[in-house]
């Protein structure tokens, strides 16, 4: 399932196609959202992709916090599900090297629980630290600092590599690679100085053990623990009292380191919870901002509609007045037309009456002569009567000749 916040943060870290580091606050939000995705979906193409792209933001720590809740007999299978996922397999070797360093440094904070995974990570480190032509990566120290040293807690237990039973050649290559990576780091601040000193002692201790094994000098488990705890070279001929004191101090230091490691792990868990809450607050703030924006937009739209309603209302009132005025005018005109029509009808009737009155005598003479035999005198009289009709009509306004 796509995560909007993670996608926005990834877009923010790739402005203009150029990779930029997120702020500490954004990194905390990214880890919190990634852990939330893991809790909901587990490892799948989607979450592995978010893990890979957010490795600089500390997704290795979030992954370990999620794996802490998994039964120990399923931890290595879960780790394999990550490294065998197609999103991980298809990632370039430099990116895999970054991820391997980050995971190694993170899991070392709980060495006892993740020992098998750490061994596998160390086993892949040398190969990934080289280019295809077999030469060492040019930015080895820069990568080691950014992804191993920066992810390493101040009280991380750095084990002797001899406990993982690598063959001597590989062990030498691994120690040489670590020595080269550590030598090129320039620490800044007390914390980085302490870390680099611990790493240098760790490298030197592993070189010392490798050198003694090469000369077939047996090293007891007690001595290995002493070296791992103090992170410094072994004395060549320790006296028995010094060895006993040293072993006692080493055990105490290991006990203290374990307690500190547990406290640091709990502190990380608390920070992750805080980060999750901060991310939740950030999401809520974003939602509030979104709803406030929508509310303002809707309020503006309502105001615009109210104004439009007032305008339409005014137009309607004006049209109602105009309509009433037109209705009154039409009424008055109808009355005028009715009067005119009535006058017209009266005038017409009066005219017809006048015509009938004017022609009545002529019509009476015509009726008398209607059945008489036609003679010259009768024809002349009829002609005179017809001329008289036309004169009367013309006098009444009916000019047949002029039309």
Identify the three-state secondary structure at position 155.
coil
Question: Any idea which of 30-34, 61-65, 96-100, 352-356 has the lowest mean pLDDT?
Answer: 352-356
Distances (CA, A) of 218 to 212, 223, 244: 8, 10, 18
Residue 223: pLDDT above 70?
A: no
Structure confidence by residue, pLDDT tens digits, 143-180: 999 999 999 987 788 999 988 888 899 999 999 999 99
pLDDT at 254: 61
pLDDT at 337: 83
pLDDT at 99: 95
* Rounded-to-integer distance, Cα 362 and Cα 387, Å: 11
More confident residue, 10 or 268: 10
More confident residue, 18 or 195: 195
pLDDT at 274: 79
Distances (CA, A) of 165 to 75, 122, 134: 21, 11, 24
pLDDT at 69: 92
pLDDT at 247: 57
pLDDT at 309: 92
Residue 300: pLDDT above 70?
A: yes
* Rounded-to-integer distance, Cα 209 and Cα 162, Å: 8
pTM exceeds 0.85 for this model: no
Residue 222: pLDDT above 60?
A: no
Structure confidence by residue, pLDDT tens digits, 226-267: 444 444 333 333 333 444 555 566 656 666 765 665 676 667
Mean pLDDT of 31-55: 93
* DSSP letters for 116-133: HHHHHHHHHHHHHTB-TT
Identify any residues that bridge with 384 across adjacent strands, giving them in sequence order.
none
Angle, vertex CA 232, rays to CA 130 and CA 249, nearest 5: 135
Nearest CA to 108 among 163, 57, 185, 70? 163
pLDDT at 91: 92
pLDDT at 95: 93
Q: Contact at 8 Å (CB) between 48 and 56?
A: no
Average pLDDT, rounded, for the chain: 83
Structure confidence by residue, pLDDT tens digits, 335-355: 888 888 787 777 788 878 888
* Rounded-to-integer distance, Cα 55 and Cα 99, Å: 7
Tokens matching residue 15: 């402005």
Identify any residues that bridge with 136 across adjacent strands, giving them in sequence order.
130
Mean pLDDT of 210-234: 47
Residue 317: pLDDT above 60?
A: yes
Nearest CA to 96 among 124, 134, 133? 124
* Rounded-to-integer distance, Cα 111 and Cα 316, Å: 83
pLDDT at 17: 72
* Rounded-to-integer distance, Cα 175 and Cα 192, Å: 21
Contacts of 28 (CB under 8 A, 6+ apart): 271, 274, 275, 278, 279
Q: Contact at 8 Å (CB) between 168 and 210?
A: yes
Structure confidence by residue, pLDDT tens digits, 263-291: 766 676 677 677 677 777 877 887 787 88
Residue 64: pLDDT above 60?
A: yes
Question: Any idea which of 168-182, 206-220, 360-374, 379-393 has the lowest mean pLDDT?
Answer: 206-220
pLDDT at 226: 46
Structure confidence by residue, pLDDT tens digits, 16-35: 677 888 899 999 999 999 99
pLDDT at 219: 42
């Amino acid at each position: 399932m796509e995560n909007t916040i993670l996608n926005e943060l990834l877009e923010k870290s790739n402005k203009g196609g150029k990779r930029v580091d997120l702020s500490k606050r954004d990194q905390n939000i990214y880890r919190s959202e990634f852990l939330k995705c893991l809790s909901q979906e587990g490892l799948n193409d989607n979450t592995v992709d978010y893990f890979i792209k957010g490795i600089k933001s500390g997704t290795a720590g979030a992954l370990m916090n999620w794996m802490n809740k998994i039964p120990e007999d399923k931890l290595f299978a879960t780790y394999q599900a990550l490294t065998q996922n197609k999103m991980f397999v298809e990632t370039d070797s430099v990116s895999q090297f970054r991820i391997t360093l980050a995971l190694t440094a993170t899991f070392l904070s709980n060495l006892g629980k993740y020992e098998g995974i750490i061994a596998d990570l160390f086993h892949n480190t040398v190969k990934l630290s080289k280019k295809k032509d077999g030469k060492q990566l040019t930015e080895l120290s820069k990568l080691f600092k950014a992804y191993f040293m920066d992810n390493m807690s101040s009280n991380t237990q750095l084990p002797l590599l001899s406990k993982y039973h690598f063959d001597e050649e590989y062990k030498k290559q691994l120690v040489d690679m670590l020595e080269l990576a550590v030598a090129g780091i320039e620490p800044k601040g007390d914390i980085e100085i302490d870390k680099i000193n611990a790493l240098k002692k760790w490298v030197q201790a592993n070189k010392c053990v490798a050198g003694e094994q090469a000369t077939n000098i047996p090293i007891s488990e007690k001595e290995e623990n002493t070296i791992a705890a103090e992170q410094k070279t072994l004395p060549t001929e320790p006296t028995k009292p010094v060895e006993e004191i040293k072993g006692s101090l080493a055990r105490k230091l290991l006990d203290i380191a374990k307690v500190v490691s547990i406290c640091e792990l709990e502190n990380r868990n608390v920070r992750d919870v805080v980060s999750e809450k901060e991310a939740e607050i950030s999401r809520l703030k974003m939602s509030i901002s979104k709803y406030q924006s929508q509310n303002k937009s809707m309020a503006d739209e309502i105001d615009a509609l109210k104004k439009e309603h007032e305008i339409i209302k005014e137009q309607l009132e004006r049209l109602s007045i105009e309509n009433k005025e037109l209705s009154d005018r039409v009424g008055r005109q109808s009355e005028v037309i009715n009067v005119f029509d009535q006058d017209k009808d009266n005038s017409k009737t009066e005219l017809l009456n006048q015509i009938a009155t004017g022609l009545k005598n002529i019509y009476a003479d015509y009726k008398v002569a209607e059945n008489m035999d036609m003679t010259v005198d009768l024809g002349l009289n009829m002609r005179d009567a017809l001329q008289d009709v036309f004169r009367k009509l013309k006098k009444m306004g009916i000019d047949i000749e002029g039309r």
